[in-house]
Amino acid sequence: MRTTLDLKDDRLVTPPQKLSSTSHLTFWHRFQFEDGFDGGALEVSTDGGATWVDVVAGGGSFVSGGYNGSISGSFGSPIASRPAWTGGSSTAATDSMTQVIVNLGAFAGLDRLVRFRLAADRLAVGSLPGQGWWIDDVQFTNTLVEGACPSCLEDDDSRIAYSNGWHLINYTSASGGHFRYHSGNSPQHFANLDFTVPAGSTGSISYAFAKSPKGGTADIYLDGVFKQTVSYAGSVGSTQAPEFKPEYNVQYGNLTAGAHKLELKNLTGVVYVDRFCLTNSNSNAQPASGPGNTTNQPGTASTGQTSSTNYQMPSGSQEISVVAEASLNVPFKLAVINPSGLTLQTVDATNGTAVLNTSVTQNGVYVIKVINVSLGPLQFTTTATPLVKR
Ligand SMILES: [Ca+2]
Ligand SMILES: [Ca+2]
């Protein structure tokens, strides 16, 4: 790019890049600019070119070959008062180039643009033109492999391993039109995904979820190592109509070739799974059991009354999870009776929700009872999902 004696603001923009948290930009350059008045800077856009930020101001850092000066604020340069490459040797046109290495990890994400911005200030008495800016061999490293699109596993994918207690809800805001949720504090319950990064690749996995007012927490483990606690607590929606947002998503990258496992453990309150997405990785997992069909129905019980519904236990059921959630935070009880008339469990509601998980040893018709022990009518939704052999 050539400099001029007059005002100039030239940009050389890279193609969109899929940057990872360890991506670097390297290039070679030489330059001669009017020292302190004209210069070059590196800028990044994370919104498709609508807005740009200086690479350092935006969180990037030079590993080597960083800016060597700054531009005067006095002569109207488009990059006035900013750090930049400026000055340089009068023999720049024939000098050897120097390498610049920039850590772009702060800009990790898809469709990142980087531009070389050459700015010359306006003509003034004594201005010198400089010679220009030579840039060569521009490379981005550790990008998410070009052309690799994530393959997503919806919450009902049979490759995801679920414990008992995961219910499927159809909901238009969810990816694929549905999500799963788990209710209640269950240190033994989980959702896992086993996946593999092929030789020669660096993989990543993301997990998308939802939030609602009864949202709790889950601990995320990757390859047996605790990564973070995700909170599902939100301020809007309800357990079965939660809020979905693009940022309700966690991602782990830089996964080396081989087998990996993502785990949701130590579940409390309501926990959501919308989907998992794999980049440069795949899953052939075949869990031996998983959630069967979810039944979901509203019910009412007046003061002191019991509402009973029959439930045909699907064949192959190993466990069953039943959730009764009332529209108000009032006391009630939930019980499940087996086909022999034996009460398997009775639980009290807390915070308007009663959760009952029990093993299944008998086929046939079970009875789900909601017992209203509050001082007013009770409106509730009963949700039941078995864990079945696959
Ligand atoms: Ca100038
Ligand atoms: Ca989904």
pLDDT score of 379:
97
User: For residue 147, is pLDDT > 60?
Assistant: no
What spacing in Å lies between the alpha carbon of 156 and ligand 2's midpoint? 7
Q: Residue 266 — left, alpha, or beta (φ > 0 → left; ψ -120 to 50 → alpha)?
A: left
Taking the CA of 177 as reference, the closest ligand is 2
Taking the CA of 273 as reference, the closest ligand is 2
Amino acid at 271: V
What spacing in Å lies between the alpha carbon of 123 and ligand 1's midpoint? 6
pLDDT score of 259:
98
Q: What is the mean pLDDT of the chain?
A: 95
What spacing in Å lies between the alpha carbon of 135 and ligand 1's midpoint? 20
- Average the pLDDT over 303-325 and give the result: 96
Give me 79's structure tokens.
């990059």
Instruction: Give residues with Cβ within 8 angstroms of 184, minimum separation 6.
Output: 165, 267, 269, 323, 353, 355, 357
What spacing in Å lies between the alpha carbon of 7 and ligand 1's midpoint? 7
Confidence band (pLDDT; 50, 70, 90) for 2?
confident
Q: Would you give the end-to-end CA distance of the chain in angstroms?
A: 64
User: For residue 59, is pLDDT > 80?
Assistant: yes
What spacing in Å lies between the alpha carbon of 246 and ligand 1's midpoint? 45
CA 135 – CA 41 distance, rounded (Å)? 12
CA 383 – CA 334 distance, rounded (Å)? 12
User: For residue 148, is pLDDT > 80?
Assistant: no
- Among 2.60.40, 3.90.320, 2.60.120, 3.30.300, name the CATH number for the domain at 8-141: 2.60.120
User: For residue 390, is pLDDT > 60?
Assistant: yes
Supply the pTM of this predicted model.
0.65
pLDDT in tens, 84-130: 999 999 999 999 999 999 999 999 988 899 999 999 999 888 888 88
- The strand order across the sheet containing 203-208 reads 151-154, 275-279, 203-208, 249-255
Taking the CA of 277 as reference, the closest ligand is 2
Instruction: Give residues with Cβ within 8 angstroms of 105, minimum separation 6.
Output: 19, 20, 21, 22, 23, 60
Taking the CA of 118 as reference, the closest ligand is 1
Q: Are 26 and 100 in contact (CB under 8 A)?
A: yes
What spacing in Å lies between the alpha carbon of 184 and ligand 1's midpoint? 68
Q: Do domains 8-141 and 151-287 have the same CATH topology?
A: yes
Residue ranges per structural domain of the chain? 8-141, 151-287, 295-389
The distance between the two most distant Cα atoms of the chain, rounded to a whole number of Å, is 101
The 3-class SS string of the chain reads CCCCCCCEEEEEECCCEEECCCCEEEEEEEEECCCCCCEEEEEEECCCCCCCEECCCCCCEEEECCCCEECCCCCCCCCCCCEEEECCCCCHHHCCCEEEEEECHHHCEEEEEEEEEEEECCCCCCCCCCCEEEEEEEEEECCCCCCCCCEEEECCCCCCEECCCEEEEECCCCHHHEEEEECCCECCCCEEEEEEECCCCCEEEEEECCEECCECEEEEEECCEEEEEEECECCCCECCECECCCCCEEEEEEECCEEEEEEEEEEECEEEECEEEEECCECCCCCCEEECCCEEEEEEECCCCEEEEEEEECCCEEEEEEEEEECCCCCEEEEEECCCCCEEEEEECECCEEEEEEECCCCEEEEEEEEECCCCCEEEEEEEEEEEEC
Domain at 295-389: CATH architecture: Sandwich (2.60)
- Average the pLDDT over 253-257 and give the result: 94
Taking the CA of 170 as reference, the closest ligand is 2
pLDDT score of 15:
94
- Residues around ion ligand 1, judged by CB within 5 A, are 34, 37-38, 120-121, 127
Taking the CA of 209 as reference, the closest ligand is 2
Q: Name the fold adopted by 151-287.
A: Jelly Rolls (2.60.120)
